[in-house]
Amino acid sequence: MNEEIKTGLLVISRHTESEWNLLGKWTGLNDVNLTDKGQKEAEQIGEILKDVQFDVVYTSEQKRTHQTLAGILKGSVHPDVPHHIHGAVNERDYGDLTGKNKWEVQEEIGEEAFKGIRRGWDYPVPGGETLKDVFARVVPFFDTEILPQLKEGKNILLVAHGNSIRALIKHLEDIHEDQIADVEMSFGHVLLYRISADGAVQQKETRKIDIIPPKA
């Protein structure tokens, strides 16, 4: 009789709507709270994860991921689990662009440069990080801290940011840098990767909530 192969589950959620997301500002490492809408959506994410029991959770240093985690655990009615905070999965540092309105910057610099900053692999940002820089800190952390636990069959929840998640997706799915501009981690989407004992991705599932429309 074949023994069942033990696999771990990596669940990845982006933080929900923050105060600066609502205002269209580049947030980066600035520490802002979730909106009321974001709090409710975090609980909705928890509701679609009720069938998963987590062994450990990881968040960035930014409090919007901590608040999202609290909502997820509340919505999923899961007991508290070991929570580790690590700067390696922090959002991208947007440097001189931090606090500026994205759409006003788009008007100033044009569509091509704007897309390069938002989605490019190694497009420079004054005083900030490229996605390549983010990849260089996220992946070693994942490989040394999280992957060994997944190989042991643990279920791990990571609550992070659009760019730190995009960097990790590139690594997990072996996406070429020329295609990374097409990869986005949308609000309300949750990725579930089944990881085998040898560290390979066996299966990917996407779940999502209905995003609450903004008030008129």
| pLDDT tens string 77-93 | 987 899 999 999 999 99
**Does any domain span residue 215?**
no
CATH code (residue 199) = 3.40.50.1240
Q: For position 215, what pLDDT does the model report?
A: 53
What integer is the mean pLDDT of 31-58? 97
**Does any domain span residue 181?**
yes
Residue 15 a catalytic site member: yes
Q: For position 156, what pLDDT does the model report?
A: 98
**Does any domain span residue 92?**
yes
What integer is the mean pLDDT of 143-172? 98
pTM for the structure as a whole: 0.94
- Range of 71's domain? 8-208
| pLDDT tens string 13-42 | 999 999 999 999 999 999 999 999 999 999
Q: For position 163, what pLDDT does the model report?
A: 97
Q: For position 80, what pLDDT does the model report?
A: 80
Q: For position 78, what pLDDT does the model report?
A: 81
**Does any domain span residue 85?**
yes
**Does any domain span residue 216?**
no
Exactly one of 15, 41, 43, 129 is catalytic; which is it?
15
Q: At residue 136, does pLDDT exceed 60?
A: yes
Longest dimension (CA), the chain: 66
211: confidence class by pLDDT, cuts 50, 70, 90 = confident
Residue type, 186: S
Q: At residue 152, does pLDDT exceed 80?
A: yes
Average pLDDT, the chain: 94
Q: At residue 2, does pLDDT exceed 60?
A: no
Buried b (16+ CB within 10 A) or exposed e, 189-214: bbbbbebbeeeeeeeeeeeebeebee
Domain total of the chain: 1
**Does any domain span residue 41?**
yes
**Does any domain span residue 90?**
yes
**Does any domain span residue 143?**
yes
Exactly one of 17, 41, 43, 91 is catalytic; which is it?
91
**Rounded Cα gap, residues 134 and 89, in angstroms:** 8
